[in-house]
Structure 1
Amino acid sequence: MNAPPHFHAKYGEYEITVNILAGVVEGKFPKRALHHVLEWYDLHHRKSGALSKRSSSKND
């Protein structure tokens, strides 16, 4: 079975996976770096015309 569309982001020893369709974030990331990734996600997700939904994630 294939995983849903997603992307990975790395920052030092931290790594997250973001589900593109649902906006669900899995993993651990520093707050400032997570903010930048989610800004990028929102910008590109809106461009695709999909609805944006985010869940809470574990922050450092």
Structure 2
Amino acid sequence: MPALSMFFGIIIYMYHELGGKHNTPHIHAEYQVYEAVISLDGELIEGELPRKKLRLVVAWIEIHADELAANWKLLSNGEAPFKIQPLQ
């Protein structure tokens, strides 16, 4: 799945689950050897990121909440998501 956004070495993904739907809307964030799943409410679901990077991701989620919700809906309908602006 292509990345939704990339900033400060963090790559953000949102996946479509084949054959079913995820329960909680969320993103996947990767930074170096770290991986985390974070809800669209900014809660860490699983994995880990360095504290400063996690704060950046949560800030990005807050700024782009509407776009993330729209992407979640697109993926739930089997459509492709769109790119979202990175933090600058």
TM-score for the superposition, normalised by structure 1: 0.61
Q: Give the structure 1 partner of residue 42 of structure 2.
A: 23
- What does 1:1-60 align with in structure 2 at a 5 Å threshold? 1-3=20-22, 4-20=24-40, 22-25=41-44, 26-45=46-65, 48=66
Shift of 1:5: 2.1
SS at match of 1:29: coil
**Unaligned regions of 5+ residues in structure 2, if any?**
1-19, 70-88
SS at match of 2:37: strand
* Larger strand proportion of the pair: 1
Shift of 1:23: 3.0
Q: Which runs of 4+ in 1 moved over 2 A?
A: none
Q: Tell me which of the two structures has the higher relative contact order, counting C-alpha pairs closer than 8 angstroms and 6 or more residues apart.
A: 1
Shift of 1:9: 0.4
Aligned equivalents of 2:42, 2:51: Cα separation in 1? 16
Q: How many residues are matched?
A: 46
Q: Percent identity?
A: 35
TM-score for the superposition, normalised by structure 2: 0.45
Q: Which has the larger radius of gyration?
A: 2
